[in-house]
Amino acid sequence: MKTDLEIFKPFVKKNKFARRIDGLNSIVYTRVSSKEQAKGFSLETQKRVIEENCEKMKLNVVAYFGGTYESAATDERKEFDRMLKFAQQSKVKISCIVVYSHDRFSRSGANAIYIASELRKQNIRIIAVTQPTDTSTSTGIMQQNLQFIFSQYDNDLRKEKCMAGLKEMLLNGYWPLKAPLGYDKITRKKRENVGLEERQKITVNETGKLIRKAFYWKAVDKLTNAEIMYRLKNAGINMYKQKLTKILNNPFYCGIISHNLLNGQLIEGKQEKLVPMDIFLLANNGKGANVTWKLDKDFSEVPLKHFLKCGECGSSFCGYQVKKKGLWYYKCNKTGCKCNRSAKTLNELFAEKLNSYTLMSKYIDPVKEEFFKYFNESEKESLNHSSILKGRLTEIAGKMEKLEERFVIGEIDNELYQKFLSKYRKEKSEIELELDGMRFRNSNLENRLEKYCQILCNLNVLWTSNGYKGKLELQELMFPNGISYDREKSDFRTPEINEVAFVMSDIARDLEEKEKGTYDFNDQKSLLVPPSRPNMNDILEDTRDLARIWDMYGYLVKDRLQDINLKKYANRQIN
């Protein structure tokens, strides 16, 4: 007896989205990437071609989405999200999303593949009228996925070229983005027969003149940010605290370009300077945005706090006062370390450490003489390297000339010309930067070396007589990475020492040993070479900043030294 299957129909499992499998209801999505494209005929062309194909496939267009400019690099788009929500939740069961091409739907590659996969689970197909594929088969799905991947690849290529162009402009001192508040940016089109310097001009506007006043209020008048915001509000500019801080910390206003594409490199820009560099630094207390001095309390009794590290766990020491006793202490910040020492004891120990680098006045002249020998020896190496770099510059200039000649006579197209021109310019810029770093005026070396000698001769006195800030400056000058305390040996370890001070004190010790007859220059190590030979560029950088450091210490010595003889000596050295 043949079973009648109709009686089992109540038990049939139904697909939630079965009505969409052979459905003809569709929605249309059109898109362009930029505002300029939206003004043209591209959107109209997309819509017309889609409607013609929908008519041929007998699809019923229920709704239209898009019709505007949205970047397809990301799928977080207002119209795109609205279209997906409608397709998935509409009471009118949507079976197709019709687009002009797959890159009009999305350029996000893997994410576009995922969205298409989730739509297929709901029996919603993506139909690209200019790239027809049958997504009911595995082959068709693979073809559609490849289209999405190639769309992302094309997008990545465009982005790469765009980023290279932006970086090239930044390296040449031009700002390719929207100008910061206070500036007007005038840009002429490329087709105009003018150079880059004429195509872009960034000038200070009326708002910028008020911002200039804000810098002077901060740098010269020492006003707080709240007072500056109040004055700006009275002048017609409403500004919140974070915005003002961002402006005051932006070196663009003093003519310097900084951008994440430059990877930490600073470039002198072509824009009009709003304020001089010294005013910008004064407005920022001479330091960057992330470095501040906390002077709300007098910490002159614990100048080593944060600078001193625990030799056991590596944590920084903090400073605190026992008010009942009126005594200061250093304590390791790590819970459970229990490294607690008297501030007076560690300060005296640090002063003794400084004594080991103190230069006796009778050795000043011989130390300078030996240091000059060391400097000249290192300079010879720099000169050799400099000649090599100059040779490379000449070679690159020749290549650029040949490249331009080949472009003029038509041997290569514009794309190849721009590609290699950008490459050669980058190489040239890197070499020129390296050469700039090697330049140094020997005429100033003797004066700067003399000031170093003055500091090293009075090292202990300068530290003990200075206030909190002066002590910090001197500590960081001598030991750039701080010091650590070994509680078992009750001694300091110094991971890094100022290279100039190290070389000069090392020379002085060798001279002292020679004077005592315990050292033979011919048999022992050279005076000029310490165990780890310092980099001359670092030494030269130290000597460039030396005048500023000595000036500060000199006036601090004038104000604070009580001993009459030391005071006279300091004044004589400063003058």
Percent of the chain with pLDDT over 90: 3
Task: Indicate whether 500 pLDDT > 80.
Answer: no
pLDDT tier for residue 565 given thresholds of 50, 70 and 90: very low
CA nearest neighbour of 23 among 123, 117, 99: 123
- Find the mean pLDDT for residues 132-153: 85
Give me 158's structure tokens: 């465009």
**Per-residue confidence (pLDDT) for residue 377, from 0 to 100:** 63
**Per-residue confidence (pLDDT) for residue 417, from 0 to 100:** 82
Q: How far apart are the first and last CA of the chain?
A: 124
DSSP assigned state of 359 = P
Q: Which tens digits make up the pLDDT trace of 385-429? A: 777 888 888 898 888 888 888 877 778 888 888 888 888 888 887
Task: Indicate whether 496 pLDDT > 80.
Answer: no
Domain 183-283 has CATH 1.10.10.10: no
Tell me the angle at which helices 499-516 and 536-560 cross, rounded to the nearest 10 degrees.
Answer: 80
Percent of the chain with pLDDT over 70: 75
Give me 163's structure tokens: 């980023």
- Cα–Cα distance for residue pair 264/95, rounded to 1 Å: 52
- Cα–Cα distance for residue pair 230/239, rounded to 1 Å: 9
**Per-residue confidence (pLDDT) for residue 41, from 0 to 100:** 62
Give me 265's structure tokens: 């490199």
How far are the Cα atoms of 209, 248, 282 from residue 256, in angstroms, in the given order? Answer: 18, 13, 16
- Cα–Cα distance for residue pair 51/36, rounded to 1 Å: 24
Domain 16-159 has CATH 3.30.990.10: no
Task: Indicate whether 141 pLDDT > 80.
Answer: yes
The upper half-sphere exposure of residue 405, i.e. CA atoms within 13 Å in the direction of its Cβ, equals: 6
3 state SS of 189: coil
pLDDT tier for residue 463 given thresholds of 50, 70 and 90: confident
CA nearest neighbour of 358 among 435, 437, 455: 455
Strands in 125-128's sheet, in edge-to-edge order, are: 60-69, 25-32, 96-99, 125-128
- Name which of 175-179, 246-250, 310-314, 453-457 the model is least confident about: 453-457
- Find the mean pLDDT for residues 126-145: 87
- Find the mean pLDDT for residues 462-466: 79
Task: Indicate whether 309 pLDDT > 80.
Answer: yes
Task: Indicate whether 566 pLDDT > 50.
Answer: no
3 state SS of 14: coil
* More confident: 469 or 347: 347
Q: How far is CA 476 from the centre of its chain?
A: 23
pLDDT tier for residue 92 given thresholds of 50, 70 and 90: confident
Element (H, E) at 293: none
How far are the Cα atoms of 26, 81, 515 from residue 144, in angstroms, in the given order? Answer: 19, 21, 86
Q: What is the mean pLDDT of the chain?
A: 75
Q: How far is CA 455 from the centre of its chain?
A: 34
Q: Which tens digits make up the pLDDT trace of 241-291? A: 888 989 999 999 998 988 888 888 888 888 888 988 888 888 887 544 444
- Find the mean pLDDT for residues 481-502: 80
Q: How many residues does the chain have?
A: 575
Task: Indicate whether 575 pLDDT > 70.
Answer: no
Sign of the C-alpha dihedral computed for residues 46, 48, 52 and 57 taken in this order: positive
Give me 551's structure tokens: 């000036």
Confirm whether pTM is higher than 0.75: no
Strands in 327-332's sheet, in edge-to-edge order, are: 317-322, 327-332, 340-342
pLDDT tier for residue 382 given thresholds of 50, 70 and 90: low
**Per-residue confidence (pLDDT) for residue 467, from 0 to 100:** 78
Please compute Rg for the chain using Cα positions.
36
**Per-residue confidence (pLDDT) for residue 440, from 0 to 100:** 44
**Per-residue confidence (pLDDT) for residue 530, from 0 to 100:** 38
Task: Indicate whether 294 pLDDT > 50.
Answer: no
> What letters, b where the CB count within 10 A reaches 16 and e where it falls short, cover 163-184?
ebebbbbbbebbbbeebbbbbe
- Name which of 131-140, 216-225, 470-479, 512-521 the model is least confident about: 512-521
Task: Indicate whether 300 pLDDT > 60.
Answer: yes
Element (H, E) at 88: helix 78-89
Element (H, E) at 165: helix 138-171
Question: For residues 257 and 173, is the Cβ–Cβ distance under 8 A?
Answer: yes
Q: Which tens digits make up the pLDDT trace of 12-61? A: 666 666 667 778 889 999 888 776 666 656 888 888 899 999 988 888 99
Residue that has been written with the tokens 């002249």 in this structure:
365
**Per-residue confidence (pLDDT) for residue 98, from 0 to 100:** 92
Task: Indicate whether 564 pLDDT > 50.
Answer: no
